[in-house]
């Protein structure tokens, strides 16, 4: 997955793949996946320049390296002790490093991506988080509290994303948000319009943050409800 593939709530898979040469893959790649091995072999010298790898001067594998834990040139530097790759095997929230508008998407297990994509893993709250992160309020707030690239680009630095004020609510209170997220994703799968559901989440989030009607109009000047409708709104 690339950053450009990420849309609000759902990413668009572009049928592109990356080679994940996990720790220890040098043992099986040549025989089990010769096409991949031959492809990587053409970049052998460049791959060896990534640091001290486990190969001897005659280019034969030296498992008893003087540098235990260092990777062989055929594999990523992903020692199983650091557990990093395990995060890709979880459901995630993914977002682009640079975009015109905040866009967060749920990402299935086992999806990998390039360096233009950032991600959050917390399966307990993923749907609640993604509903808030895609709202007009969070977009408005983020653009005013972070370092940006002018008027047309949003740069999602982790230091700012991590400090977004997300209300802690019970799992029961999260259910209306989760149901709407599931509906939005299902509709996007079939190309249906999701404006009504996304607008409902916007209103729910305004209420969640206790915004007055006047404050809502600052965030969303084209807000469609009257003050009375907003004050009496229930999920």
Mean pLDDT confidence for 30-46: 90
Query: 24 versus 8: which is more confidently predicted?
Result: 8
Looking at residue 190, what DSSP letter applies?
T
Do residues 53 and 72 make contact, with C-beta atoms less than 8 angstroms apart? Answer: yes
User: What angle, 0 to 180 degrees and rounded to 10, lies between the N-to-C axes of helices 171-189 and 126-133?
Assistant: 70
pLDDT at residue number 140: 93
Token pair recorded at residue 113: 């991506």
pLDDT at residue number 146: 82
Mean pLDDT confidence for 179-196: 95
Do residues 1 and 110 make contact, with C-beta atoms less than 8 angstroms apart? Answer: no
SS3 234: coil
pLDDT at residue number 68: 46
Do residues 121 and 144 make contact, with C-beta atoms less than 8 angstroms apart? Answer: no
Do residues 77 and 84 make contact, with C-beta atoms less than 8 angstroms apart? Answer: no
pTM of the model: 0.78
Q: How sure is the predictor about 157, in pLDDT bands with cuts at 50, 70 and 90?
A: confident
* Residue 52: φ, ψ to 5°: -75, 110
SS3 156: coil
What would you report as the CA-atom Rg of the chain, rounded to the nearest whole angstrom? 23
* Average pLDDT, rounded, for the chain: 84
- Residue whose token pair is 């940006």: 148
């Amino acid at each position: 997955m690339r950053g450009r593939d990420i849309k609000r709530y759902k990413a668009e898979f572009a049928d592109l793949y990356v080679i994940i040469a996990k720790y220890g893959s040098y043992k099986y790649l040549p025989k089990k996946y010769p096409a991949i091995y031959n492809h990587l072999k053409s970049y052998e010298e460049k791959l060896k320049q990534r640091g001290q790898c486990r190969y001897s001067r005659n280019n034969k594998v030296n498992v008893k390296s003087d540098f235990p834990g260092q990777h062989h040139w055929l594999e990523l530097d992903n020692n199983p002790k650091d557990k990093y790759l395990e995060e890709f095997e979880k459901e995630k929230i993914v977002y682009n490093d640079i975009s015109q508008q905040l866009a967060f998407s749920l990402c299935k297990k086992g999806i990998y991506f390039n360096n233009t994509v950032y991600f959050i893993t917390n399966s307990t709250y993923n749907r609640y988080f993604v509903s808030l992160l895609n709202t007009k309020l969070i977009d408005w707030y983020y653009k005013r509290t972070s370092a940006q690239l002018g008027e047309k680009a949003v740069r999602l630095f982790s230091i700012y994303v991590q400090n977004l004020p997300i209300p802690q609510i019970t799992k029961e209170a999260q259910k209306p948000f989760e149901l709407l997220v599931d509906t939005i994703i299902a509709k996007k799968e079939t190309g249906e319009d999701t404006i009504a559901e996304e607008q409902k989440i916007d209103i729910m989030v305004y209420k969640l943050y206790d915004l007055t009607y006047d404050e809502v109009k600052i965030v969303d000047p084209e807000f469609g409800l009257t003050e009375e409708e907003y004050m009496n709104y229930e999920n």
